[in-house]
Amino acid sequence: MKKLKPLIVGNWKTNPGSLKDAKNIFSGIKKAASVYKGLDIVVCPPYPFVSILAQSVGTGKKNISVGSQDVSQYETGLSRTGEVSADMIASVGARYAIVGHSERRAMGENAETLKVKLQQVLKTNMSVILCVGEKERDTEGGYFEVVKAQLKEVLSGVNRSDFHKIIIAYEPVWAIGRKDNVALTGYDLHQMVVYIRKYLKESWGDTIASMMKILYGGSVNSSNTEDIVINGEVDGLLVGRSSWTTEAFRDVFASVNSCMTTHSIKDLKKTLKKAQAQKKNKR
Ligand code: PGA
């Protein structure tokens, strides 16, 4: 994991079924967040719970915040029954909005719609979590091109000054919601992360490419986190089912946290060894 503070996003989808349960789960997650201060945690509940959960976070610098799972492509004030604008979501305290989740793409959202949605979020003070990912893996590596095309069609035309508000979530569709909980391996993930960064660098330069966070999503749980985080070298995770209970989400935090600690100890030992060798050589 490259960036200092990993970003762990929970996507609650259509869970839970009541405000009472949402408050209970979120209160447990808040407690866990106060233990794992080295992580930035975001919970994306269904719309009706966004406001109350965001308000319960309170003001001041916190490592937990609330996001929405989607935003409308329409702006405030239009006659579009049932739509919820990005302004409204931002006004109740959400800090992030997911755009382009594969489950929404499957409901008919196309690149044009997603481009507009992304712009709607960028007009607010929220950050966008833009989801991309191939439906299936072929042996020729065509999935790299699929992801590149998805990024290109939504990101083209975005102002350079807005890129700091965009986070990319790579979620291979075939790895989402798997009953056997098999995620992409860290090795394969790393190849995609490198590919995405290379594409960002070629299109928008080094500064933007190295600043942008890339998350992984798709059947993440506490037992596959280590491989994903360490070998995949992602900047965080987009977690579905393992964020629906306090316990499962807390286990993911614990696992990311322990990877970070083990890794920084290893790095420290390497640096010490190098310094000792240099000292010896000088004598
Ligand atoms: P999952 O969902 O972790 O349950 O696979 C991930 C997602 O849909 O974002």
pLDDT at 276: 75
Q: What is the DSSP string of 184-238?
A: --HHHHHHHHHHHHHHHHHHH-HHHHHHS-EEEESS--TTTHHIIIIIT--SEEE
Query: What are the per-10-residue average pLDDT scores of the chain (283 residues)?
Result: 79 98 98 96 98 93 96 97 98 98 96 97 98 95 97 96 97 94 92 98 96 97 94 96 98 93 69 74 71
Query: Is any ligand 1 atom within 6 A of the Cβ of residue 41?
Result: no
Confidence (pLDDT) at 47: 98
Q: How far is the CA of 26 from the centre of ligand 1 (A)?
A: 18
Nearest atom in ligand 1 to 219's CA? 5
Atom 9 (ligand 1) nearest CA: 240
Ligand 1 midpoint to CA 220 (Å): 7
